Amino acid sequence: MVLLAACSVWSLITATAGAGRPEGVLLAVLAVAAAYACGRICGALLPVSAPGAGALAGVSLALLLPHTRLMPQETSPLGRDGATAALLALATGAACCGAWAARRPAVRLALRLAAVGVVATALVLDSTAGFAVCVGVLLCSLAAARMRNRGLGLAGLGLATALTAGTTWAVAGGVLPYGLESALEGQLTPYRVLLWRDALDMAEARPALGAGPGRFGELSPTVAESLVPAGRPHSALLQQAAEQGVVGAGLLGAVFCWLLYALWRSPRSTPVVLTAGAALTAVAALATVGNALSFTAVTVGAGLLAGIATARPLGWEPPEETDGAGLPSQSEVA
C-alpha cells in the first residue's frame, strides 16, 4: 500500500510540476489495488474456481473486446496485440494455478487442458507474441514441479525482467553493437525505436520530475510526424522515465520487486507461486517493449492473479512435498 500510495502521490507531484494529466496513472493504481484485494479474497475462498474463472474471463476478453484486437497499423508486439498477448499469458497462468491447487485429478486435468486451449487460442488470433508467452508460462508451470527453492525461481524471473528492461534501455540509447542493434530494430520496427529514443531524450532533459504524466504525445517529434499518432512510447519503463523521471521509473520497478517478494512469502505451494510469477513476468516483459499496461483489462488481470497467488486458502490445498531428489512426492502427484 505504501508503494501504490507513493506512485499516486508522485504522479500528482510531477503533474503539478509539468502541467500533466495524472488521471491515467491514478486509474491504473486504483485498478491494481482493487483487483489485488479481490484476488486475495477469491483466492482464499475459492483457490481452484477463482483462477479457473479468471482464465475464462481473460480468454473471453482477448476474443471479444475490440480494443484488444490487432489493428492493421499496429504490428506485433506493438499496441493492441501486446494487450492480447498479456491477457492470454494471464489466462494461461491462472488455469495452471487452478490446476496445481485442484484436489481432484479430473479437475486438474481439465484446467491443464484449458491452459493448452489458451495456447491454441493465441494461434487462432494469429498472435505471435501471445503464443510465445503462453508457451513460456506453460513450460515454467511444468518445470515448477521440480523446483525445491522458490526463491531461486523467482530470482530467475526477476533477472529475466531486468535483462529485458536493460535491453530496451540500451536499444533506446543506441549503445549496442551495430549488428545486434540492427537485428533488434528489424524485429521491433524503426518506428518504435524512434519512440523509445524520444522518451529517453525527455528523461535525460528532465531526469528529476519528467515532462509530466500524459505529455509524451505532445512533446515527441516522432508522434508529431506520424500519420497514426501513438501517444505513448510503447514501453512502460521509458514512459515512466520520460513523464515522471527517474523516481517514477524506480517506483515502477519497486512495485514489481515487491510483487516477487510477496510471491516468495506466499503461503501457496511453490508450483502455484512460480506459475503466477512466470505469467506476471511475461506481462512485465510485454509492458517493457509495448503498451500492454495501458489497457485496464491487463492491469486488473495482473492484480487478480497476484492476489490469488498470495492468498491463504481457507480450505484444503495439495501439500507441498518433495522427495530427496527434489521431485514431487507420490501424494502430491496423486
Which of 72-86, 121-135, 246-260, 320-334 reaches the highest mean pLDDT? 246-260
Distances in Å between the alpha carbon of 65 and those of 177, 295, 302? 41, 11, 18
Closest CA to 232 of 249, 247, 213, 248: 213
Distance separating alpha carbons of residues 288 and 239, to the nearest angstrom: 9
Asked if the model's pLDDT at residue 330 lies above 60, the reply is: no
73 pLDDT tier (thresholds 50, 70, 90)? very low
325 pLDDT tier (thresholds 50, 70, 90)? very low
Distance separating alpha carbons of residues 324 and 97, to the nearest angstrom: 24
Q: What pLDDT was estimated at residue 120? A: 94
Q: What pLDDT was estimated at residue 320? A: 56
Q: What is the pTM of this model?
A: 0.89
Three cell numbers written together for 259: 510483487
- Residue spans of the domains in the chain: they are 2-315
Closest CA to 244 of 219, 208, 217: 208
Three cell numbers written together for 329: 512426492
Asked if the model's pLDDT at residue 136 lies above 90, the reply is: yes
182 pLDDT tier (thresholds 50, 70, 90)? confident
Half-sphere exposure of 200 (CA within 13 A, CB side): 15
User: Cis omega (within 30 of 0) on the bond before 77?
Assistant: yes
